Every structure is written in C-alpha cells, then in structure tokens.
Amino acid sequence: MSAKSLDDGDIVCPECAKACKPAMIDVAGEKIGGWRCSCGYEMIRPKDFEKAYLFLQARKRERVKISKRGNSYMVTIPKAIADVIGIDKDKTAEIFLKDPHTISIIV
C-alpha cells in the first residue's frame, strides 16, 4: 500500500469533481504553487501554505516609527516583511518617491 502525498497525485476539484491542473496561484500578487480547476476553483500546494501565510502576514499594513539620524530619516522594516523578501543587514536597496504619499524600496 503506497501513501501518495497530495503533492504527488492528481487533484480532483472538490467543487465539480474534474481534474485540476498544476498552476501558479495568485495570492495577493505573489505567485504560489498549486492547482486550478476549469471551474475556477484554486488550491494552494500544501508545502507552499507557509509561504502564502507569511506573504499575507507581510502584506498587512503596520504603523512604524520614523526617527532621525543626522540629516536622514529612518523607518524600521517589520520582521514579517524582512523575512519574506530576504532583507539582510548589509544588503543595499533602491529608494524613491513613487507619488506624493508613497515611498518605494526595491531590494
């Protein structure tokens, strides 16, 4: 008796019972591995649940404090965001004013 994991086998749609095809599922703009049925039902691959969860945590708005050091202002980056995008202490990033109320940081 072989135990096939959900990651190995064909997935049957719980909504319409058709076979689902492997697909990248859009989770708030991030592509996560999973399956999609022709009826539109989507499932996230079990091994990617944590990635999807961490990404959704990082997407939550968080109020951070602005401090000043010399002539520059500093903003802390929440750990949830740092963990998802892989920020490290000596990494460099680009920062620019996207619009009058939004600062973008590209890492």
37, 52, 58, 81: which one binds Zn ion (CB under 5 A): 37
Size of the site for Zn ion (CB under 5 A): 6
Tell me the two tokens of residue 105. Answer: 């940081």
- Measured from the CB of residue 71, what is the shortest distance to Zn ion in angstroms? 58
Amino acid, res. 28: A
Which residues inside 41-100 make contact with Zn ion, applying CB under 5 A? Answer: 41
Q: What's phi and psi for 84, nearest 5 deg?
A: -70, -40
- Measured from the CB of residue 41, what is the shortest distance to Zn ion in angstroms? 4
CB 67 within 8 A of CB 45: no
Instruction: Please tell me whether residue 11 binds Zn ion under the rule CB under 5 A.
Output: no
Three-class DSSP category at 34: strand
The full length of the chain comes to 107
Which residues inside 12-31 make contact with Zn ion, applying CB under 5 A? Answer: 13, 15-16
Tell me the two tokens of residue 36. Answer: 């999609």
- Measured from the CB of residue 82, what is the shortest distance to Zn ion in angstroms? 37
The residues that touch Zn ion, with contacts defined as CB under 5 A, are 13, 15-16, 37, 39, 41
